[in-house]
Copies of this chain bind each other. A is one copy, B any other.
Amino acid sequence: MYFEIDPKKSIPLYEQVIQQVKELCARGLLKPNEKLPSVRDLSSQMLINPNTVSKAYQELERQGIIITIRGRGTFISEELTGYIDPKKTERLQQALKNVIIDSHFAGISEIELKRWTEEIYKKLGGNGDEG
C-alpha cells in the first residue's frame, strides 16, 4: 500500500489523503479491521504536515470509514451501515450531475461517459482479492 500526494493540485492535501484511503478501501487493498499507518508515519512518508494527516483521519472517522482506538492505532471499520443518508444521496446526485454537465461542454458523449463508469467499476472490483 502506498500513497501519492501532489501539493501542486488545487485540491487540498487532506482531501487527497481522504480520497486515497477511500479508493484503496473500495478496491479492497485495505480490508476491514486492517491497521492504517500512524499519523506520524504516514506524514513522514508523504512529506506533509502531521496535522494534515490528522485532519484527514478525523474526517474519515466522521464518515464512519475508519475508527481510532486510543493507544492501539487507526483501523478500517468493520462494515458499512446499511442506512442510506438522503442528504448524502442528494449531494452525490448533484455531484454526478455536475460531472455530466461539464463532460457535455468538454465534448464527451453520453456513451463515452457510460464507458468510463463501466471501466471505473471494473477497476475497483477487479483486484479485491489481490491486496
Q: Which A residues are closer than 8 A to B by beta carbons? A: 7-8, 10, 12-13, 19, 22-23, 25-26, 62-63, 65, 67, 69-70, 72, 80-85, 88-89, 92-93, 95-108, 110, 113-114, 116-117, 120-121, 124
With a cutoff of 8 Å between Cβ atoms, the chain B residues found around residue A100 in the complex are 117, 120-121, 124
Measured between alpha carbons, how far is A88 from B83 in the docked complex, in Å?
16
Q: Given A7-B72, A62-B62, A99-B99 in contact, is the A108-B92 Cβ separation under 8 Å?
A: yes
Q: How far is the CB of A125 from chain B (nearest CB, A)?
A: 8
Chain A interface, >50% SS class: helix
**Besides the known contacts A88-B102, A99-B99, 11 further A-B residue pairs in the complex with CB atoms under 8 A apart:** A7-B72, A8-B67, A83-B107, A84-B106, A84-B107, A93-B116, A96-B96, A97-B120, A100-B124, A110-B121, A114-B114
Minimal Cβ-Cβ distance residue in B for A75: B8
Measured between alpha carbons, how far is A78 from B101 in the docked complex, in Å?
17
Q: Say yes or no: B80 contacts A107, CB within 8 Å.
A: yes
Q: Say yes or no: B8 contacts A101, CB within 8 Å.
A: no
Q: Say yes or no: B104 contacts A124, CB within 8 Å.
A: yes
